[in-house]
Chains A and B, each alone.
Chain A
Amino acid sequence: MSDASTSSGFGRALVAVYAVFALAASARSVYQLAAKASEAPFAYTLSAVAGVVYVVATVALATDRRALAVATIGFELVGVLGVGLLTLVDGELFPDATVWSDFGAGYGFVPLVLPFVGLWWLHRTRRVGA
C-alpha cells in the first residue's frame, strides 16, 4: 500500500481519539490553572504537561511525523503508568485529579489503552527501510 500515512485508514479514527484527549486534557488544565492553581500545583502542572503531550501527539499522527509521534506517545505511556502508580502510592500529591490519575479511570481507562494502540499503529504503518 503506497498510502501508509499515520493518519489514513484506522489512523484517521485514532487521530480523532487523540484530538478528543488533547482537547479534554488541555481544557481541564487551563481551567484548573486559571481557577484554582494554588490548590494542587503538582497535579495541575501534570495536567498541563499531559495536555501538551496529547496536542503534540495528535499533530504528529495527523501529519505523519513518526519520530515525534513515537516520542510523545512513549512519553504518554510513561506518564499514564507513572502517574497511575503515584496516585496509588501517594494520594496526597494529588488532591485533585489529572487525566492520568488512577491509570485514567476517570476517562474509562482510555488514557491507559491509547498509548499501546498508538505505538501498535506506528509499528504497523512503519516504512520498511525508512
Chain B
Amino acid sequence: MNDPVAYAVAGFALVAAAYAGWHLWREAPFSNGLFYVVSVLELLLLGLLIGGSIALSRTERDVDGVLFVSYLVTVLIIPPAAVVWGIAEKSRWGSGVVVVAMLTVAVLVFRVLGIWQGAYV
C-alpha cells in the first residue's frame, strides 16, 4: 500500500468533514450533497480495503495483518452508520454526526498507514 493513497483518502475524509462542518455552521441538516460525498468516501474506503488486502498478501514487510485488515473493515462501517444515524435528525446536528464520522475516518486511515509502516505494535 503506498502512502500517497492513504493520504489522499484521509485528505478526502477531512474535506468531507469540512463540508459537513460548513453545513453545521450554516445550520443545514443532512443534505443530498453530503450524502454523495459520504458515498464517494465509502467507495474509496472499499478500494482501500481491497487494495490494502492485495498489498498485504504481496508485501515482505512485517505487518500485523489481522490488525491491519480489521482496521480497514471497521472504517468501512462508519460512513453508512453516519448516514443512518445522521439522516434521521432534521436539525443541523445531523450534519454534526457526519463531522464526527469523517474525522474518525481520517484518524483511522492515518492509523492504518501507521500499522502498515509498523509504527504501532
Residues of A bordering B, CB below 8 Å: 8-13, 15-17, 19-20, 23, 27, 31
**Chain A residues with CB below 8 A from B93, complex form:** 9-13
Interface contacts beyond A12-B93, A16-B86, A16-B101: sample of 7 additional A-B pairs, CB < 8 Å, sorted by A: A8-B91, A9-B93, A12-B94, A12-B96, A12-B97, A13-B99, A19-B85
Contact A13 B100 (CB under 8 A): yes
Shortest Cβ distance from A21 into B: residue: B104
- For the complex formed, measure the closest distance between the CB of B83 and the CB atoms of chain A, giving whole angstroms: 11
Interface of A is mostly: helix
- For the complex formed, measure the closest distance between the CB of A126 and the CB atoms of chain B, giving whole angstroms: 19
- For the complex formed, measure the closest distance between the CB of B20 and the CB atoms of chain A, giving whole angstroms: 10
Contact A15 B67 (CB under 8 A): no
Q: Does B3 contact A (CB under 8 A)?
A: no
Shortest Cβ distance from A96 into B: residue: B121
Given contacts A13-B100, A27-B70, A31-B67, contact A19 B89 (CB under 8 A): no
- For the complex formed, measure the closest distance between the CB of B117 and the CB atoms of chain A, giving whole angstroms: 18
Q: What's the Cα separation between A129 and B89 when bound, in Å?
A: 27
- For the complex formed, measure the closest distance between the CB of B50 and the CB atoms of chain A, giving whole angstroms: 21
Shortest Cβ distance from B85 into A: residue: A16
**Chain A residues with CB below 8 A from B57, complex form:** none
Offer 16 A-B interface pairs, CB within 8 angstroms, sorted by A.
A8-B91, A9-B91, A9-B93, A12-B86, A12-B91, A12-B94, A13-B93, A13-B100, A16-B85, A16-B100, A17-B100, A19-B81, A19-B85, A27-B70, A31-B67, A31-B70
